[in-house]
Amino acid sequence: MNTPVKYIKGVGEKRAELLNKQGIFTLNDLLHFFPRSYIDFSALTPINEIIPDTVCCFSAIVGYTPVKHTIRKNMTLYKTMVTDGTAGVNITIFNNTYLAEALEVGAEYIFYGKVTASHGSFEMSNPIIEPTGSDCPVRPIYPRISTLTSGIMQRVMSNAVGIYSTKTPEDIIPDDIRHTFRLCHQQFAVKNIHFPASSKDIETARHRFIFEELLTLQLGMKRLKNAARKSTAFTVTEDFSEEFIKKLPFELTSAQKRAIDDAVNDMKSGRAMNRLIQGDVGSGKTAVAACLIYVAARNGFQSAFMAPTEILAKQHYESLSALLKGSGIEITLLTGSVTAANKRKIKEKLRSGEISIAVGTHALLSEDVEFCRLGLAVTDEQHRFGVSQRGTLVFKGENPHTLVMSATPIPRTLSLIIYGDLDLTVIDELPKGRQKISTYCVDTSYRPRIYSFIKKHLDMGLQAYIVCPAVEENEEYEITSATEYYERLCKDEFVGYRVGLLHGKMKAKDKEKVMSDFLSGEIQLLVSTTVIEVGVDVPNSVIMVIEDADRFGLSQLHQLRGRVGRGKEKSYCVLISDNTGEETKARLSIMCRTNNGFLIADEDLKIRGPGDFFGARQHGLPDMKIADLTGNMDIVRQTKKACDMILARDPLLTSRENRPLAEAVDRLFSREKHLSLN
């Protein structure tokens, strides 16, 4: 399986270089380069039943020798007519003399391609042509790699599968697991994923490979979790959490207290904590983090608190400063905008241990930022950093405790994958006094009334957001542009009001300036894209209007809605959509019915799959070759059971039967340098 790909017949040095660029180095890698689709030459349609402008497959007899037509230099056409007795199709072949001359008059072939209708007759240009009675009626179609066409890859793969078949390697999944979960043998899966005899065999093979990939992923995440559980010098010897809680001017919820207990117990265990606190918008995660930071400081070690943006870091700094006021614990803010002189002073104090808490952005990760005794690393809005940066702060200390926080509600089943290397605590209650945000879904005819409603609140000294799904006009989807919308509002509906614009294409310092002006009240109405989905706490903002709301995932809508309702005033969210589809109505009505982010996340998962919960690479997991976290949730659950069964009897995967599985886990995670299994 580790044979270099260049030694496989049909590859050689030059083609091996192209394959290497795609991460294909060995026979094993090549066998896991799966077809993107298949052509089933056994699913034939009579010509008289063909629907024009569709791709189809039919069997027909060649009526006459293809006639050559030279259109211009380097362009030759061959035309013939074929029939199956029910009707005929005019066939055009471009620049392929070999194929045209190989067609025999009176012989039967299978033709695959798009059929069009013109002047009362059917036509097909450049079809794929196969002789009837082929041993492999289903043909794989591979993604093109530079000059390596699907046809070339078919021939190479045929040789690769042939080599594999003669070796009869051991199946990487233990026999009892295969039987329990009704999986085909690896040898059957390899042959039928590439050269299947039927569509049923494709599904059997695909199911097996999806299961295998998700199983190795979960085993790897479990090993990451175990690797993170190293002994630490920063063991909490005395729990000061009650002392901190008594000083608070408000009462913590039972969920917050449970989160604190979970984390403190981790920190007392003698092993490094590696915990995620997942809580809805406004559930009080910062107060939990403040308590743990206090406990760490009272036990004599430092804490670092990293936020994704400078303005959010400033807000956390102010919140923590207020919560820790009078405690004698020194806290500092370290961001890109801090002057060079102040940075030097801060770094010196961190190095000496004078400062107990450093709040900041990525500036905390700079090589010259050193801690004296970093015992607790806190990361806020974890999904904005991704797995790749999850452990970066940890290297600033010797196995410090790690706490990550996320306000993105993710269904538990999905979080088992995304946060599989972390212990999980969910804060599922909101603090007392946290008001419900009234949510309404209306069509665009309500805009004049909405604008009047916004103006009424702006005149009262309050603020509002209007969110659009695009920065520039996109005619194809007819979605509202943030920039054009902003310009129109400034000229027409909101003349005389202070309107601001915020979008992802702006420079970081310009974004910070806009959010700072909105926070201070300089901007009354902020027109924005989803860049404010995770943002600062602006207690004075009370209205959130979301244009083209049907274009957003429910969890994203919930995150956006969470930008208001942070103060004492009654708050509102208005979803605008002209989409009258039943699914859209059902989705948006959920937003109007509940403010519970986890309930919304579960509904979103049922309706649209988990693709909404994170961007293409935000989750930072190893790339999947065939498994899809957006559509294989049943298999995720099955592989979790299989993972637990395997690790229960062989926690380190050292037995002979699990050695191939351990190697597969290493291969999967070796592609991601930031994920260390050691």
- CATH number for the domain including 333? 3.40.50.300
pLDDT at 363 exceeding the cut of 90: no
What is the reported pLDDT for 103? 93
Looking at the domain assignment, is residue 275 inside a domain?
yes
Each residue's pLDDT tens digit, 61-82: 999 999 999 888 778 999 999 9
Which residues make beta-bridge pairs with 178?
A: none
Residue 429 has pLDDT above 60, yes or no: yes
Give the closest residue to 304 by CA, choosing from 210, 174, 403.
403
Which range marks the domain in which residue 530 is found?
Answer: 438-594
Same domain, 464 and 536: yes
Residue type, 92: T
What length does the chain have? Answer: 678
User: Is residue 406 domain-shared with residue 257, that is, in the same domain?
Assistant: yes
Global pTM value: 0.64
Report which secondary-structure segment, H or E, holds 82: strand 75-83
pLDDT of residue 457: 96
pLDDT for 636 beyond 90:
no
Amino acid 78: pLDDT:
94
pLDDT digits (tens, 9 = 90+) for 158-209: 999 988 888 767 789 999 999 999 999 999 999 999 999 888 999 999 999 9
Report residue 615's pLDDT band, with 50, 70 and 90 as the boundaries: very low
618 pLDDT more than 50: no
For residue 412, what pLDDT is reported?
61
Residues 344 and 306 in one domain: yes
> 247-266: per-residue pLDDT in tens?
888 899 999 999 999 999 99
Whether residues 221 and 334 share a domain: the answer is: no
Q: Which residue has the higher pLDDT, 120 or 288?
A: 288
Mean pLDDT of 431-454: 89
Residue 11 domain flag = no
Nearest-angstrom CA–CA distance, 375 and 443: 52
List Cα–Cα distances, 464 to 37, 437, 445, 534, in angstroms. 48, 14, 20, 16
The confidence score (pLDDT) of residue 534 equals 58
Number of domains in the chain: 4
pLDDT tens digits, one per residue of 289-298 = 999 999 999 9
Q: What is the mean pLDDT of residues 653-676?
A: 77
Q: What is the pLDDT of residue 233?
A: 78
Same domain, residue pair 560 and 661: no
- SS3 category, 500: strand
In a domain, 157, yes or no: no
Is 483:471 a contact under the CB 8 Å cutoff? Answer: yes
User: In this model, does residue 39 exceed pLDDT 90?
Assistant: no
Tell whether 326 is covered by a domain: yes
Q: Does 74 share its domain with 196?
A: no
Phi/psi of residue 548, nearest 5 degrees: 50, 50
Residue 91 lies in a domain: yes
Asked whether the predicted pLDDT for residue 222 surpasses 60, the reply is: yes
Residue 522 has pLDDT above 50, yes or no: yes
Q: Is residue 612 part of a domain?
A: no
pLDDT at residue 409, rounded to an integer: 66
Rounded CA separation 494/345 (Å):
46
Do 122 and 197 lie in one domain? The reply is: no
Name the percent of the chain lying above pLDDT 90.
43
Please indicate, yes or no, whether residues 321 and 269 belong to a single structural domain of this protein.
Answer: yes
β-strand pairing of 302-306 with 438-442: unpaired
